[in-house]
């Protein structure tokens, strides 16, 4: 089975906590603070692995977690950074946020990489809080959790030329005759159940990648047959070779059927340059149909060539013509992978205050919850620092205006429970 879609969960590592420590050295009676910072949490990184051509790896690997940063230690020792988790994907993988549908990256280049979630910021050791008036601080901050995302992966094969046509038109036979690919070939519909890639080497200077796209029938764009699953793989191709089975009763009708499905699917498929390869010209019925088909297509300004994929008659001419069209078309621009956008605190509501039926107060908001997670409430200095920060944000004034009373329970996010004392 060909796997070209997957959904996975990725999580970056937590930043290490800062340390509270003091120097204890012989002959140094007032050593001072020496607590080191924590290590940075590991990132989750996608990278292109050219030897991989499907997303089957993600059938049994759906959760990825980077390493946590180590906590800081005494003697100003910084904790080790968390290990990045590197996730291999095939060339042509599109990464989307599963919740918003936003495209986060399009990984096509062989050396492409994308940091999809960043590791948590490390905490600061107490040596960072030394001032002229506080030379022995007992305050350190916690590292932040790493970001998490649920992602949809979609593979669109990267090929220069796409082979399209109804089942049994001869696409797999042509692919096998002109490349080293060995697709399954048989005389019944849907022999090919997955896209196949092959490299065409016409001469020392002419080569390209060709893809056999299976399962196109009438109604494929609506989900009938196999074509709906694989039409996406034509999107990256630059030229289409449209194979017609010349032995069928009405090859022109077959031609219209496939083009109608390409147009219905959209994404520019109907606008791609096409070469019609009238296949099975070695058969008597195909020879009889060829003059009519050639005349009709020529009247529409459509280029058509007679071939026999089975005997390889005319196949090199078709492929050379495809190579010529590739040279004439504009060179595709490389996909630029931009950094995943980060929402800054100033772009959102700083905090919201709600009261629950049990008479407790809940303060929520990304910025205030991050502040709470950074501070340690078992340290008086850290608690005072948090108090000063949320006062500056206006949280305390907002709670007073909302009617908070002495002894009320105030939650910061879902994890931090405090008792109001004014």
Q: Are residues 317 and 248 in the same domain?
A: yes
CATH number of the domain that residue 44 is part of = 2.70.210.12
Q: Are residues 173 and 317 in the same domain?
A: yes
Whole domain around residue 188: which residue ranges? 161-328
Look at residue 57 in the predicted model and tell me its pLDDT.
Answer: 85
Average pLDDT of the chain, as a whole number: 81
| DSSP string computed for 84-144 | PEEEEE-TTEEEEETTT--EEEEE-STT-EEEEEPPPPPPPPGGGG--SS-SS-----PPP
CATH number of the domain that residue 410 is part of = 3.30.300.350
Q: Are residues 309 and 234 in the same domain?
A: yes
pLDDT for 5-41, tens place per residue? 889 999 999 999 999 999 877 776 667 899 999 999 9
The pTM of this model reads 0.66
Q: Are residues 65 and 190 in the same domain?
A: no
Give domain status of residue 366, yes or no. yes
Q: What burial letters (b/e) apply to 146-182, b meaning 16+ CB within 10 Å?
A: bbebebbbbbbbbbbbbbbbbbbbbbbbbbbbbbebe
What is the distance, to the nearest Å, from the Cα of residue 169 to the centroid of all Cα atoms in its chain? 34
Q: Which of 107, 139, 155 is the last residue of a domain?
A: 155
Give domain status of residue 333, yes or no. no
Q: Any idea which of 10-19, 217-226, 244-253 has the lowest mean pLDDT?
A: 217-226
Q: Are residues 295 and 368 in the same domain?
A: no
Look at residue 118 in the predicted model and tell me its pLDDT.
Answer: 93
Q: How many Cβ atoms sit within 10 Å of the Cβ of residue 370?
A: 14
Give domain status of residue 337, yes or no. no
pLDDT for 80-105, tens place per residue? 999 999 999 988 888 999 998 888 88
Q: Are residues 127 and 169 in the same domain?
A: no
Give domain status of residue 334, yes or no. no
Tokens of 139: 């305050």
Q: Are residues 296 and 167 in the same domain?
A: yes
Segment 226-246 shows an average pLDDT of 73
Give yes or no for residue 348 having a pLDDT over 80: no
């Amino acid at each position: 089975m060909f796997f070209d879609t997957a959904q996975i969960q990725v999580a970056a590592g937590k930043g290490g906590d800062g340390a509270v420590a003091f120097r204890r050295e012989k002959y140094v009676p007032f050593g001072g603070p020496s607590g080191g910072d924590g290590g940075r949490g590991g990132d989750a990184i996608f990278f292109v692995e050219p030897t991989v051509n499907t997303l089957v790896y993600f059938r049994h690997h759906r959760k990825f977690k980077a390493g946590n940063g180590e906590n800081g230690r005494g003697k100003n020792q910084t904790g080790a950074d968390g290990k990045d988790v590197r996730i291999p994907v095939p060339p042509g993988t599109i990464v989307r946020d599963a919740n918003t549908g936003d495209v986060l990256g399009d990984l096509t280049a062989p050396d492409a990489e994308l940091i999809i979630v960043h590791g948590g910021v490390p905490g600061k050791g107490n040596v960072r809080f030394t001032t002229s008036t506080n030379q022995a601080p007992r305050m350190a901050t916690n590292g932040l959790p790493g970001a998490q995302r649920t992602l949809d992966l979609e593979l669109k094969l990267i090929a220069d030329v796409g082979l399209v046509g109804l089942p049994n038109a001869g696409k797999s036979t042509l692919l096998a005759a002109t490349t080293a690919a060995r697709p399954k070939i048989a005389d019944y519909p849907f022999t090919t159940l997955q896209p196949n890639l092959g490299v065409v080497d016409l001469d020392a200077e002419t080569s390209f990648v060709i893809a056999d796209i299976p399962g196109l029938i009438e109604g494929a764009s609506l989900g009938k047959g196999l074509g709906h699953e694989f039409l996406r793989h034509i999107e990256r191709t630059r030229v289409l070779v449209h194979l017609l089975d010349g032995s069928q009763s009405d090859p022109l009708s077959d031609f219209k059927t496939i083009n109608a499905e390409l147009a219905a699917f959209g994404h520019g498929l109907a606008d791609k340059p096409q070469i019609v390869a009238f296949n099975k010209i070695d058969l008597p019925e195909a020879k009889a149909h060829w003059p009519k088909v050639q005349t009709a297509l020529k009247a529409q300004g459509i280029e058509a060539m007679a071939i026999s994929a089975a005997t390889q008659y005319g196949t090199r001419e078709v492929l050379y013509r495809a190579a010529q069209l590739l040279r004439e078309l504009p060179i595709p621009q490389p996909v630029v992978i931009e950094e995943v956008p980060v929402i800054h605190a100033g772009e959102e509501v700083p905090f919201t205050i709600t009261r629950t039926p049990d008479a407790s107060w809940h303060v929520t908001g990304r910025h205030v919850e991050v502040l709470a997670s950074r501070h340690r409430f078992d340290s008086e200095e850290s608690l005072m620092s948090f108090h000063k920060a949320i006062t500056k944000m206006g949280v305390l004034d907002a709670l007073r205006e909302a009617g908070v009373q002495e002894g009320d329970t105030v939650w910061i996010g879902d994890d931090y429970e405090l008792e109001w004392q004014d």
